Structure 1
Amino acid sequence: MSTDEDALTAAGWHPGRDAGDLALSAALMTAAVVPSVTGIRAWALFPAARGALREFFGLTLRPVAAGTEVAATGCVIDPRTGRHALRALRVLGDTVGEDVFPLGRTDAGGLIAVTESGRLLCVDHGGRWFLGDSVEDGLHALTQGRAPRRIAPRRWTWAAPATHEDPLENAVRTALVGVYALHHRQLFGARALRLTVTALRGIGAEVLDRAVPLPGGSLDEFAAPLAARMRELVDAERAHLRSCALTVTVSAPEGTPAPYSSVSCAVRIGQSASTPNATELSLAAGAGTALGRPWEAVQGCVRDLDRYTGRTAGQGLRA
C-alpha cells in the first residue's frame, strides 16, 4: 500500500459507510457515563459526533508509512475507549470553545475526539492537538504522519522599528499599528491603550497602570496627542523612562467573545538598563485561537506585523 486512502479502505471504510445500530449503541454507552467529579458535565451526543461514529465506528486504522512529517500512527474508532476521560476532554472542549465527544484512541494512547463543528482533536501525554478540519482529514493526518497543530497559547515577538526619536511616542505609534492590524483582521476594535510603568529598581513596583481611551479619527492624527497624554501621566508620577519598564497594551474591549478576547498586542520600552530605548512588539493569542477562523485571523495579524517590522516570519514563537 502506498497511499493514505489505502489505510482507510483497508480498514473497511468507504464513502457512505454506516455502522448503524452498533455505532449508536457504543455512543449511548459512552454518553451514559455519569461524572464522578462535581462541576464536570456529562457527555452530550451532538449531531457531528453521531455522524462521525456512524461513518467510522469499528475501524482499526494502521499507518501506511513511517510518516511524512512526524511518526505515523494508527487508531481504533470506538468512543468507549475514552468514555471515562470526561475531565481531560472537557478541558479540551472549554479551551476550543466547543463541546467534544470521544471518538477513539490512537496506537500511542492518545484520546481522539470530535468537536461540534466536526473537527478532529487529540489529547496525549505531549499536549492537546488539532488533527483536521474533518474526521476524515484528521484520520488521514494520523496515518500519513502529517504534523498536528498544538492547541496552546502562543506569543510572537519582534524588534520594532524606530519611527520617532521620542521612545514613548515611538511605543504609542507601534501600538497603533497593532490596533490597525487587529481591526483589519476583524479580531476586535480596540477602544483604549493601557499604559503600565514598572520601576526597574528595588522590588519592581508598578508605579502607573492606566487605560487611555482612543479618540475617534485617523490613527496617524491622534498618535502625537496620545503620546503627550501618556507623557503627562508618567511625569505626574515622577517616573523616569531610563529607570522604568514601560508597556503599552492593546487588549480586547469588554464583551469581546472568546477566543478573540484572548488576543492582545503589547509594546515594551526601557525593559533593559543597557538598551533603554529598545522597542519590543509582541502579539499573544490564547489556545482557543488554534482552530478555524480565529487561527486564520491571528495568522493574518502575524503577517501584517511581520511586514511592519521588516521580517519574513514572526520571531520568538513559543507556547
Structure 2
Amino acid sequence: MSDVLTEAGWRPGRDAGDPAMLAVLVVVTVGAELFPAADRAVREFHGLHVLPAADGGREVAALGAVIDPREARFDVPALNRLAHSLGARLFPFGRTDTDAPLAVDEHGRLLMLGPGGPWLLGETVHAGLTALTSGIAPVRLRPPRWRFPLSGGGNDLGAAVRAALVAVYVLHSAGLFGARALHLRATTLRGIGVVAVDEEFPLRPGALEDNAEPLAAAMADRCEAAGARPGACELTLTVSAPPGTEGPAATAACAVTVGGETEGPGLTLSAALSATSGPTAKALDACARALADWAGSPAS
C-alpha cells in the first residue's frame, strides 16, 4: 500500500459518493463518456490531493496531483482525439502539479497527456498514482515499431520475398491475421525516384516455402516490364491484414525493404497507436520476439 496515497486519504474500498458523481456529471456534459473502469476509479480516488514523495523521486521528478475529473474538463476534446487513436475510451481523472491532465482508459490504466504526447503511468490507477508520486518514469505511448536488419543475401528480390514469407508465417502464428498477398513497391534509385511498380501479388495455395520462387519470378518479370530492374530499385514488400480484419490487428503490418541507400536491407514490424494495449499488443510482442530469433539480432 502506498504511504503517499494513504496519507492523502485513500483506503481500500473508498467511495467518494455524491461529490464524485457530481464531478462526473460536469465532465459528461462537455463531451466525456463514462464507462465502468472510469466510474470505479473516480469513486475510489475523487477528491484526493496526493503529494509527491519526500525523497524527490526514484527515476524522474516526483509529482503530485489533484484527483477531480473537473480539473481536466477543458481537455476533453484532446482526450477524445487521443481515445480515437488508442482505440480505447478515455475519461478525465484529474491534473498533475505540472498542469498535465490525467485520464483513465477503459482497460483501467492511468494515462497522462503531457509533453510529447500520451504517457502510461500505470496498468491500474493505484499503480499509476504510486508511480507518479514516487518518481517512477512513465512509458511514452507510441505506435509500436521494430526493425530487424537483414544480413547475408538481403539485397536481392528473392531474399526479400523469403523474408516477407517468414513475416506471413509469424503474423499468422501469433494470431494477428492470415495474409493473402504480398504488396510490391519498386522505386527507381535514379533522379527523384519514380514508383515503377505498386501492386499486389496473391499468395498461392500450399506451403509458404513453395511460394518463394514463383513470387520472386513474377515480381521480377513485372519490374522488367515496367523498365525497372530490381537491382536498380528500392524494393518494399509489405504484408498487410486482409480485408475483413477488424480492430487494432488490422493496423499491423510487416515490410521488407531492400536495395535502398538509407538504412540498408531490413524487416519492419509496425502498427497503430491502438495496438499498444490488449491482446494485439501481446501478439505483436510475440511477433517481435520470433522475428528477432529469425533475424539473429535484436530490434532497432
Quickly name the TM-score band, shorter chain normalised. over 0.9
Query: Structure 1 unaligned runs (5+)?
Result: 34-41
Count how many residue pairs are aligned between Structure 1 and Structure 2: 299
Query: Out of 209, 215, 220, which is 2:209 matched to?
Result: 220
C-alpha contact 1:150 1:290 (8 A) present in aligned 2: no
The residue correspondences of 1:132-151 to structure 2 (distance < 5 A) are 132-151=122-141
The residue correspondences of 1:229-268 to structure 2 (distance < 5 A) are 229-268=218-257
User: How far does the alpha carbon of each residue in 1:88-110 deviate from its partner, in whole angstroms, 9 at most, with x for none?
Assistant: 10111111112211000111211
Query: Out of 262, 267, 271, which is 1:285 matched to?
Result: 271
The residue correspondences of 1:12-161 to structure 2 (distance < 5 A) are 12-33=9-30, 42-64=31-53, 65-161=55-151
C-alpha contact 1:172 1:226 (8 A) present in aligned 2: yes
C-alpha contact 2:156 2:231 (8 A) present in aligned 1: no
| % identical aligned pairs | 46
Q: Structure 1 counterpart of 2:279, which letter?
A: R
User: How far does the alpha carbon of each residue in 1:133-164 deviate from its partner, in whole angstroms, 9 at most, with x for none?
Assistant: 22112112212222222222243222113358
* TM-score (norm: length of structure 2): 0.93
Query: Out of 3, 6, 9, which is 1:6 matched to?
Result: 3
Q: Structure 2 counterpart of 1:304, which letter?
A: A
C-alpha contact 1:82 1:103 (8 A) present in aligned 2: yes
Query: Structure 2 unaligned runs (5+)?
Result: none
2: CA distance between counterparts of 1:159 and 1:53? Answer: 46
Secondary structure of the 2:38 match is helix
Q: What is the CA distance between 1:25 and its match in structure 2? A: 1.0
Query: Out of 294, 297, 306, which is 2:292 matched to?
Result: 306
- Bigger mean CA offset, 255-264 vs 103-112: 255-264
* TM-score (norm: length of structure 1): 0.88
2: CA distance between counterparts of 1:61 and 1:217? Answer: 61
Q: What is the CA distance between 1:219 and its match in structure 2? A: 1.4
**Structure 1's 177 and 68: CA in aligned 2 closer, same or farther, altered over 3 A?**
farther
C-alpha contact 1:162 1:170 (8 A) present in aligned 2: no
1: CA distance between counterparts of 2:240 and 2:118? Answer: 26
**Over the residues paired in the alignment, what is the CA RMSD in angstroms?**
1.9
1: CA distance between counterparts of 2:107 and 2:258? Answer: 42
The residue correspondences of 1:192-207 to structure 2 (distance < 5 A) are 192-207=181-196
2: CA distance between counterparts of 1:180 and 1:43? Answer: 41
Structure 1 runs of 4+ off > 4 angstroms? none
2: CA distance between counterparts of 1:220 and 1:71? Answer: 53
Alignment match, 1:178: 167
User: How far does the alpha carbon of each residue in 1:169-217 deviate from its partner, in whole angstroms, 9 at most, with x for none?
Assistant: 1000011111112112222211110011111112211010110111222
